[in-house]
Amino acid sequence: MFKYISRRSLFIVTGILILSLLNANLIFASAKTSEKGFNVLFIIIDDLRSQLGCYGQKKMITPNIDRIASEGVIFSRSYCQFPACGASRASLFTGIRPTKSRFVNYYTYAEKDAPNAVTLGEHFRENVYHTVANGKVFHHNDDSTQSWSEPHYQPDGHWRDYLLEENIKLEKDGSGPAYECADVTDIAYKDGRTVDKSIEDLKRLSKTDKFFFLTVGIVKPHLPFNAPKKYWEMYPLEKIDLADNPFLAKDAPDSAFHNWDELRGYDGIPKKGPMPDEKARKLIQGYYACTTYADAQIGRLLDTLEDLGIKDNTAIVLLGDHGWNLGEQTLWAKHCNFDTSLRTPLMFSVPGMQKLFCAQ
């Protein structure tokens, strides 16, 4: 049985991870031959809600994330510091809070807003770890590159990653759709290739004499909700439930709400007014499909740890950068201070960690 631990903020992730390693005298392990050390596989997922089986909800199919949770510690109330990619990640990886002038939007560069901060990756690198970043880790690939022992890997292709010709044309003409269902393999989309690269890294790094800190940034379920057809088919449209609170929160100020501009810009989305129910249902289906696609990629990483025989000396951390609204409080996207936007999963699976965090 996994344990639930409540925490109020993702801000503490950096501190918890580093302190737990220090407490176990792991940071100072000089080489992989030390019995006290272990590798770290750090998985960060874009825009991931806490609507997972391991959080007691059954709407999305995520057996691999649930697998990590079942073997470790799950944080039942973890919240991001800022509900947008760049600012949240900059705060997370520097361990520094946002202010009115620091870490203020999705486009934040950690190294510009906090030039003297030691990043999490940098700290590992300075303490005998080999550090690697694949996919979306910081919001910008060229942010805080001193964190990594080798160049940051990003798969080729446009970030919106359409595969269907009609959608590529729409994107060239202005803006593509908010979702895509293509009958393709997992590696046709970028996250599959990020994980391919990460699997090769695991094979390579498992043979070296240094521990590794491997960060893998999975972009889905970020918009647009593009995923292979087989994941869409796991969620029949007629069984998709709409949000049960699609109304303004009582007594909340106007500033609590926004016009979900991130989503409005996509083809086929109304430019103003509420989301039609059928479109809402399709978007929720797409978000779920993308989450299960992301989960399947994580499963490939977990299987590789087992195949290589390094699971027992590898700590796994999984978290999202913030949540996402699927029609709750009239809202879509993030960028608000409601629970659905600020809350995001956080879990650790570390050899021996239950002794560190949980009193049985």
Provide the mask over 80-99, with x wherever binding to Ca ion is found by CB under 5 A and - wherever it is not.
-----x--------------
Residue 234 class from Cβ within 10 Å (0-12 exposed, 13-18 middle, 19+ buried)?
middle
Name which of 281 and 322 has its Cβ closer to Ca ion.
322
Q: What angle do CA 21, 80, 41 make, to 5 degrees?
A: 35
Residue 189 · residue 167 · CB < 8 Å = no
Please report whether residue 321 would count as binding Ca ion according to CB under 5 A: yes
Residue 356 class from Cβ within 10 Å (0-12 exposed, 13-18 middle, 19+ buried)?
middle
Least Å distance between CB 221 and Ca ion?
10
Provide the mask over 200-239, with x wherever binding to Ca ion is found by CB under 5 A and - wherever it is not.
----------------------------------------
- Sorted by sequence, the CB contacts under 8 Å of residue 51 that are 6+ apart come out as 57, 59, 60
Interface stretch with Ca ion, choices 78-86, 118-126, 152-160, 233-241 (CB under 5 A): 78-86
Least Å distance between CB 46 and Ca ion?
4
Helices (H), the chain: 12-23, 63-70, 85-94, 110-113, 120-125, 165-173, 190-205, 229-232, 261-264, 277-308, 339-342, 353-357
Name which of 191 and 321 has its Cβ closer to Ca ion.
321
Q: Residue 215 is which amino acid?
A: T
Please report whether residue 262 would count as binding Ca ion according to CB under 5 A: no
Name which of 85 and 137 has its Cβ closer to Ca ion.
85
- Residue of 14, 37, 41, 47 interacting with Ca ion (CB under 5 A): 47
**What is the CA 280 to chain-centroid distance, rounded?**
23
Interface stretch with Ca ion, choices 42-50, 147-155, 246-254, 309-317 (CB under 5 A): 42-50
Please report whether residue 113 would count as binding Ca ion according to CB under 5 A: no
How many residues bind Ca ion, per CB under 5 A?
Answer: 4
Question: Tokens 């947008």 — which residue?
Answer: 84
Site for Ca ion, rule CB under 5 A: 46-47, 85, 321
